[in-house]
Structure 1
Amino acid sequence: MRFLPIFLNLAGKRCLVIGGGPVAARKAATLLRAGGTVTVLAPELGAAVAELLAQGRLAHCRKIFEPSDLAGFHLVVAASDQPQVNALAAEAAEARGIPVNVVDRPELCSFVFPAIVDRSPLLVAVSSGGAAPVLARLLRDRLERMLPAGYGALAELAGRFRARVKASLPQPARRRRFWERVLAGPVAQLVLAGRVPEAELHLEHAIQAEKREQDTGGNGFVFLVGAGPGDPDLLTLGGLRAIQEADVVVYDRLVSPEIMDLVRKDADRIYAGKEASRHTLPQDRINALLVKLAREGKRVVRLKGGDPFIFGRGGEEIDTLLEEGIPFQVVPGITAAAGCAAYAGIPLTHRDYAQSVSFVTGHLKEGESADLDWEHLARPRQTLVIYMGLKGLARICAQLMAHGLAPETPAALIEQGTTHRQRLVVGTVRDLPERVAKAGIGAPTLVIVGEVVNLHRKLAWFRGTPPAGADPTSPEA
């Protein structure tokens, strides 16, 4: 982001426009609409600026620009037809700390003019940072058609009731949710239809109803959301809506930074960890935290990598919510097996190689290997997907071979699948642990075992980061 989008209060502030042509006239008119006191500095004036002068809307200084002319001004626009004059004005304004815009010279600007959709007091500004002003105007035109003129009246109504709502609903999270419902519901529809008095009456009733709900401690809610395997494009629409409406997001280590960037900026974020053998918050404390936050009237999102019901302990969390009477909704996510396999070009089933898939967790404590049905997992003509299998990979492969799986069975490990950091290591059940160790792989990972792994050489389409020392042109990279 090269330019920070801000809205300046120019009411009564002195603004200087250098130049007297049609571009200068347009900039002066925009500054006047924003409440600025405008002076145009130019030896001669074109017809458009002269008309504004005749209307008494601006002052005129008939001279060639000199740096000393900037004294007393709060903002400068250089719009003359003399490039050297515009450059001099930019340099002088920069030296004095005055915001300056140089028409068609974004590299000289400390601010740029956006394309504006005016529904005062509601304003929408679109800018390309000076790179493509025509594109910005095209987008502005689309927004003009999308936003009815009545949105200005709706903003005025919200402004009149803002203090009243704040006093009645002191919790920011509840207040925000209230406004979201009001501004997208019957009150807004009445205003847009021109029936403002009826809208005010509806808003009064809505405030009273929300205050009663607040006083009884209601409205808390928990969303159990699967964030998918990492790529933000794989987040479901339901998941996106939930995290953008959340007051609090309780998230795990496997949730990618790209997904977390989609969380509302003013939402609280609580890291729950959930790393093997090292949990920032133990599961029982996470369960209790969800209950506590919901009882405070907050909309809580419990955000988990992949799908919350596949090795995500989501069932334990909603069991607690049920016991405590907390309303909740489960938003499934794309599990790592589906997402990572697809991005690695490995079909989980194929009529020539595998007619079934088994999902198993490789996160085993010492001595637990006997708890898995190794004989079933070692059967041929199936695909075996192992979650959290990095730490115990050597032991897992040894057990599979000990129970009859051919050592030359293809096997692959995918690191940080579906993200731009994805790495793929391919080998066999016999040598995959050694290959992974040499590649310096770290969690999160997914292991896939079966003949379908060989298909990645033909079907691979996504390229992440090659393993250390690998040939970046090879399928394994």
Structure 2
Amino acid sequence: MQSLPLFFRLTGRKVVVLGEGEAADAKRRLVERAGGECVGEPEAHHAVLGFVAMEDEKQAEAAAIRLRCKGLLVNVTDRPALCDFTVPSIVDRDPVLIAVGTGGASAGLAKILRLRLERILPQRLGALASALGESRAGMKARWPGSAERRRALDAALDEGGALDIFAQRGDDAVERWLAGDGDSAPQGIHEISLRSRDPDDLTLREARLLGSADVVAHDADVPEAILIRARADAIRMPAEDTLRGLEGAGLVVVLRMPA
């Protein structure tokens, strides 16, 4: 991973957009869509980001340097080497946003991936996210522990769960889920014997277990490409360490490399 994906709040904030033509207009529309205010270079000292969309490379580089010297992070259209950040292709299911980026390598590939995701993801995804946000107090009351709450939500949102995002659910789905018996999330210690060093060789079940694990115990030679399939906040530990005492730690996944 060569970039850290972030969602930057722009509502009510100023953003410098320099340039004319279609590319500059597209950046202005994007900033305004995110709630930002487009301004010129004279107001750069009040701005938080800068976009440069100029055909002339020397002019674009000079503009980027000027904005950067004023403390702004800068994006220069079609010139990844001059960028502090790149702009992803966006799937918008407000408040759900899915950003697809290639680090500036291929905007065309990012666009096609976005279009594929647009066809797959239901329009009601945003409504589900909003309902979950409004139900935080109810979830905390039912599952006081954060790990317990996360496991219950993982089970509900998973395939076949009460809140499966691809299933047709009513507007009261979250309310009915909270009032019901809830979904049983996997717990305990689960051992996965890896068949290769390729993460694509994980089965769907193995990938789900790894992605939901609270603790990942692994052999020393398990590749990072597989380990990063786990949650970033999951505890990692060597598999040779004793696993006793972890029975109540939620979901523990043990990764073993083939002999």
Alignment TM-score, normalising by the size of structure 1? 0.49
In structure 2, do the counterparts of structure 1 residues 18 and 77 end up closer, same or farther at CA, with 3 Å as the change threshold? same
Deviations 1:167-219 (A, max 9, x none): 432323221121112223233469x64721x314312214xx359x9xxxx97
- AA matched with 1:195: G
TM superposition shift of 1:295: 3.2
Report Cα offsets for 1:104-155 as digits up to 9, x if no partner. Answer: 1111111111111100000011112222111111111111101111111111
Counterpart CA distance in 1 for 2:204 and 2:157 is 21
Return the offset for 1:93: 1.6
Aligned to 2:256: 304
Secondary structure of the structure 1 residue equivalent to 2:2: coil
- The 1:238/1:151 distance shift into structure 2, 3 A limit, reads closer
Larger RCO: 1 or 2 (CA < 8 Å, sep 6+)? 2
Equivalent residue for 1:161, pick from 103, 116, 135: 135
Shift of 1:240: 3.1
Q: 1:262 maps to which residue?
A: 229
* 2:170 is aligned with 1:195: yes
Counterpart-to-counterpart distance in 2, 1:254 and 1:105: 38
Judged with a 3 Å threshold, the aligned counterparts in structure 2 of structure 1 residues 238 and 149 are, in CA distance, closer, same or farther, namely: closer
* Structure of higher CA gyration radius: 1
Q: How does 1:61-460 map to 2 (within 5 A)?
A: 69-184=43-158, 185-188=161-164, 193=168, 195-196=170-171, 198-206=172-180, 209-210=181-182, 220-228=187-195, 230-232=197-199, 234-253=201-220, 255-273=222-240, 281=241, 285-286=242-243, 289=244, 292-296=245-249, 298-306=250-258, 336=259
CA distance in 2, matches of 1:251, 1:183: 27
What amino acid sits opposite 1:300 in the alignment?
V
Aligned position for 2:5: 5
Deviation of 1:272 after TM superposition, in Å, equals: 3.6
Q: CA 1:259–1:147 in structure 2 vs 1: closer, same or farther (change >3 Å)?
A: closer
For 2:31, what is the secondary structure of its paired residue?
Answer: helix
Tell me if the contact between 2:219 and 2:238 (Cα under 8 Å) persists in the aligned partners: yes
Q: Residues 119 and 149 of structure 1 are in contact (CA less than 8 Å); yes or no, is this contact kept in structure 2?
A: yes
Q: Percent identity?
A: 36
Q: Is the 8 A contact 1:78 1:86 kept in 2?
A: yes
The alignment of Structure 1 onto Structure 2 pairs a total of residues equal to 257
- Pairwise CA distance, 1:75: 1.4
Counterpart residue type for residue 227 of structure 1: L
Q: Say whether the 8 Å CA contact 1:150–1:194 is kept in structure 2.
A: no
Q: Which residue of 2 aligns with 1:401?
A: none
Cα distance in structure 1, aligned partners of 2:55 and 2:220: 57
- TM-superposition CA deviations, 1:28-84 (whole Å, max 9, x none): 111111110122x4xxxxxxxxxxxxxxxxxxxxxxx6xx55222211111234433
Cα 1:182–1:71, aligned 2, differ >3 Å: closer, same or farther? same
CA distance 1:22–1:260, shift in 2 (3 Å):
closer
8 Å Cα contact 1:187/1:202 also seen in 2: no
- Following superposition, the deviation at residue 235 of structure 1 comes to 4.4
Corresponding residue number in structure 2 for 1:31: 31
Distance change (3 Å), C-alpha of 1:174 and 1:89: same
Closer/same/farther in 2, CA of residues 124 and 233 from structure 1, 3 Å limit: closer
Q: For the residues of structure 1 that align with 2:196 and 2:77, how far apart are their CA atoms?
A: 46
Indicate the SS of the match to 1:295.
coil
**1:2-24 Cα shifts (integer Å, max 9, x gaps):** 33211101011011211232221
Q: Is the 8 A contact 1:227 1:239 kept in 2?
A: no
Report how far residue 302 of structure 1 moved: 2.9
Amino acid at match of 2:117: L
The 3 A distance-change label for structure 1 pair 138 and 160 is: same
Coordinate RMSD, CA, aligned: 2.7
Separation of aligned partners in 2, 1:187 and 1:232: 27
CA contact (8 A) 2:162 2:177 kept: no
Which secondary structure does the structure 2 equivalent of 1:86 belong to?
Answer: helix
Can you give the 5+ residue segments of structure 1 that lack an aligned partner in the other structure?
A: 42-64, 274-280, 307-335, 337-477
The alpha-carbon deviation at position 222 of structure 1 amounts to: 2.1
Question: Following TM superposition, by how much is the alpha carbon of 1:85 offset from its aligned partner in structure 2, in angstroms?
Answer: 3.0
CA deviation map 1:263-306 (0-9, x unaligned): 33221122243xxxxxxx4xxx54xx1xx32235x112233333
Which portions of structure 1, spanning 4 or more consecutive aligned residues, are displaced by more than 6 angstroms?
none
Cα distance, 1:70–1:258 mapped onto 2, change above 3 Å: closer
Distance 2:61 2:193 in 1: 53
